Amino acid sequence: MGYPHTPHPRETLVLSKHFGEPEARTYRGWVKRGGYEGLKRALAMPPAAVVDEVKNSGLRGRGGAGFPTGLKWSFMPKERTKPHYLCVNADESEPGTFKDREIIRWTPHALLEGTLIAMHAIQADTAYIYIRGEFAEPQAILEQALAEARAAGVLGRFQIHVHRGAGAYICGEETALMNSLEGKRGVPRIKPPFPAAQGVFGMPTTINNVETLAAVPPIIVNGAKWYQAMCLSSPKSVGTKLFSVCGHVQKPGVYEVTLGFPLKDLIFELAGGMRSGRTLKACIPGGSSVPMLDRDESERCIMDYEGCATLGTMLGSGGVIVFDDSADMVYQVMRLARFYAHESCAQCTQCREGTAWTTRILERMLAGQGKPDDLDLLLDLSENMTGKTICVLSDSCAAPVVSAIKKFRGEFEAYLAGRSALVA
């Protein structure tokens, strides 16, 4: 569902307030909407004070890991003895996630302003916005906004460059992003060393997601307490989140709600519920790398970091993928496994070989040639692929496999029995 559209009354519009307004893309238009006020205030504060304000706000990384942003910024050296860098992670590639694209397309200045404030806070003079290669249109809009901001003198001594990726999901992993930026294959690095100590070009680096940075200017303008107050459930999950709802819903799109919002309402009220004659079967709440929920769990799930964890899944990137009863879960798990097999960087044995083998077992099962031991084999493979690799792509392949076998075992067994109850 594109913009402009009328926001749902239960949305809390902070980041998406101006989605759909073409004027908001321009520097003038953004200033008219209160833009760059946050930057002005932040620049008048010492960097450490900006870090504290963001720490106190409770903002957590919106890319998927949910790491407290202010805390991440505080890992940077307090004294700047060598160049510091900020990397903006605009590599949005997690299946089900399409919220950063909207931020960049509609409010690029929000991202630029947040970037500049972050640069001030971590004492970085140079920032690279790593944007995925497929985002040609958002990139053009962003470059235009950047040029306008530069012309208006907003950048000051700060340098922001846009760096285009070239088709690799793994470059959304922060250390792989850094390698890609350095002109190498986008493979993750072993940690330690951590980016704040030794990041891009060997220098102290912070990597932040687009949505995270876009949330920073309102926090500076309205204060940490304001952000903290936006909370519907767990006090450790505050502020608003852009949830990208997609799949089998009437009104797929990006919806901004306060954390702690019920998933059930997100699906049935905001996103218009099921298609005619269909019922909810499953939902992946945080992008394909998190365990999937069955119908009952989906209807109970509270959308914040802790609420999802209680149900054994994760808030992740907030990519809400909805499956109705027409979905063939076995086929979709195969398709997800194939995604991970395509995107594996090939460093770790478990990921390189395991994602491919998992895919093949599922393909064979779908072709009616599954074997009785296949489910145990898949679970065993998933166990080997979890917690033993440099990054979590391997674990991310295992998550849908394990959760689907657990919650939709009947569909798998139907394939093994040589028949399928559903049409793909």
Partner 1 sequence: MSTATHDASEPVFRGDTLKRLQEILARYPTKAAALLPALWLVQQARGWIAPETMVEVAGLLGLTPAHVQGVVTFYTMYHQHPVGRHFVQICTTSPCNICGAEDVVKAFLEQTGARELGATSPDGTWTITEVECLGACGFATPVLIDDELVENVTPERVAALVRKYS
Partner 2 sequence: MADALVNLTIDDQPVSVPKGTLVIEAAKQVGVLVPHYCYHPGLPIAGVCRMCLVEIEKAPKLQVACSTPVAEGMVVHTQTAPAKSGRQGVLELLLINHPLDCPICDQAGECELQDFTFQEGRPATRYTPDFPKRFNPVEDFGPDVLYVPNRCILCTRCVRFMEDVAKEPVLNVSERGDRAFIGMHPAARLDHPWAGNVVDLCPVGSLLSKDFLHRARAWELDKTASICTGCSQGCNVTLDTRQGVVVRVRPRVHLGVNRYFMCDHGRANYRWMNRGDRLDAPLVRDPDGHRAVDWDEALARVTRVLEGASGSAVVLASPRASTEALYLARSLVARFAWTGAYELVMGEEAPLAGVPDLALRAERAPNSTGADLLGYTADYAAALAAAERAAVVLVLDAPQVVLRPAGALLYLGTIPLEDPETRARAEALLPVANVAEEEGTFVNRDGRVQRYFQAKSAPGMTQPAWWVLSALGAALGGDEIGSAADAFAALAREVAPFEGLSYARLGYGGELVARAVPA
Which residues contact partner 1 by CB under 8 A?
1-2, 83, 92-98, 100-101, 132-137, 159, 161, 163-169, 180-186, 201, 244-248, 252-254, 288, 319, 321, 323, 326-327, 331-332, 335-336, 339, 342-343, 345
Tell me whether residue 67 or residue 201 sits nearer to partner 1 (CB atom): 201
Label residue 141 exposed, middle or buried (CB < 10 Å: 0-12, 13-18, 19+).
Answer: middle
Nearer to partner 1, 58 or 287 (CB): 287
Q: Which is nearer to partner 1, 96 or 260 (CB)?
A: 96
Q: How far is the CB of 188 from partner 2 (least distance, A)?
A: 10
Minimum Å gap between C-beta 14 and partner 1 is 19
Write down the least CB distance from residue 3 to partner 1, Å. 11
Task: State the alpha helices, DSSP H only, in 316-392.
Answer: 329-343, 349-366, 374-384
Structure tokens at 198: 């030794």
Residue closer to partner 2, measured from CB, 356 or 416: 356
Residue 167 binding: pick among partner 1, partner 2, none (C-beta 5-8 Å cut-off by kind): partner 1
Query: In the chain, helix, strand, coil percent, each to 5?
Result: 45, 15, 40
Chosen from partner 1, partner 2, none, partner binding at 371 (C-beta under 5 to 8 Å by type):
partner 2
Nearest approach, Cβ of residue 301 and partner 1 (Å): 18
Give the span between the Cα atoms of 214 and 208, in whole angstroms: 10
By a kind-dependent CB cut-off of 5 to 8 A, residue 397 interacts, out of partner 1, partner 2, none, with none
254 binds, among partner 1, partner 2, none (CB under 5 to 8 A by kind): partner 1
What is the Cα–Cα distance from 258 to 305, expressed in whole angstroms?
Answer: 12
Which C-beta is closer to partner 2: that of 205 or that of 389? 389
CB of 289 to partner 1, least distance (A): 11
CA 47 to chain centroid, in Å, comes to: 27
Judged by beta carbon distances under 5 to 8 A according to partner kind, the member of partner 2, partner 1, none in contact with residue 353 is: partner 2
Q: What is the signed CA dihedral for 16, 17, 19, 24, rounded to 10 degrees? A: -120
DSSP string, 276-329: TT--EEEEETTSTTS--EEHHHHHH-EESHHHHHHTT---TT-EEEEEETT--H
Residue 389 binding: pick among partner 1, partner 2, none (C-beta 5-8 Å cut-off by kind) = partner 2
Cβ-contact 340, 350 below 8 angstroms: no
Q: How far is the CB of 167 from partner 1 (least distance, A)?
A: 4
Task: Output 160 or 337, the one with its CB closest to partner 2.
Answer: 337
Task: Compute CA distances 393 → 303, 336, 343, 389, 400, whole Å.
Answer: 23, 12, 8, 8, 12
Residue ranges of E strands in 65-120? 85-90
Amino acid at 323: F
Residue 237 and residue 153 in contact, taking contact as beta carbons nearer than 8 Å: no
Q: How many degrees, rounded to 5, is the angle at CA 134 between CA 132 and CA 138?
A: 80
Cα dist from 91 to 131, 165, 169, 181, 313, whole Å: 5, 7, 7, 12, 23
Q: Residue 352 binds which entry of partner 1, partner 2, none, with Cβ cut-offs from 5 to 8 Å by kind?
A: partner 2
d(CA 75, CA 404) in angstroms, rounded, equals 38
Shortest Cβ distance from residue 128 to partner 1 (Å)?
8
Q: How far apart are CA 304 and CA 295, in angstroms?
A: 18
Q: Which of 241, 236, 244 is nearest to 261 (CA)?
A: 241
Q: Footprint of partner 2 on this chain (CB under 8 A)? A: 168, 185, 190, 341-350, 352-357, 360, 364, 371, 373, 377, 383-384, 387-390
Query: Based on CB atoms, which residue is closest to partner 1, 99 or 217?
Result: 99
Minimum distance, C-beta of residue 105 to partner 1, in the bound complex (Å) = 10
With CB cut-offs between 5 and 8 Å by kind, which of partner 1, partner 2, none does residue 166 bind?
partner 1
Which is nearer to partner 1, 58 or 319 (by Cβ)? 319
Report yes or no: 186 and 170 within 8 Å, Cβ to Cβ. Answer: yes
Return the one option of partner 1, partner 2, none that residue 347 interacts with (CB less than 5 to 8 A, by type): partner 2
Q: Of these partners, partner 2, partner 1, none, which one is at the site of residue 164 (CB under 5 to 8 Å by kind)?
A: partner 1
Smaller CB separation from partner 1, 225 or 342: 342
Q: Least Å distance between CB 343 and partner 1?
A: 6
Name the helix (H) or strand (E) containing 81: none
Q: Minimum CB separation from partner 1 for residue 416, in Å?
A: 21
Identify which of residues 145 and 230 has a Cβ nearer to partner 1 in the complex. 145
CA pair distance 286, 308, nearest whole angstrom: 9
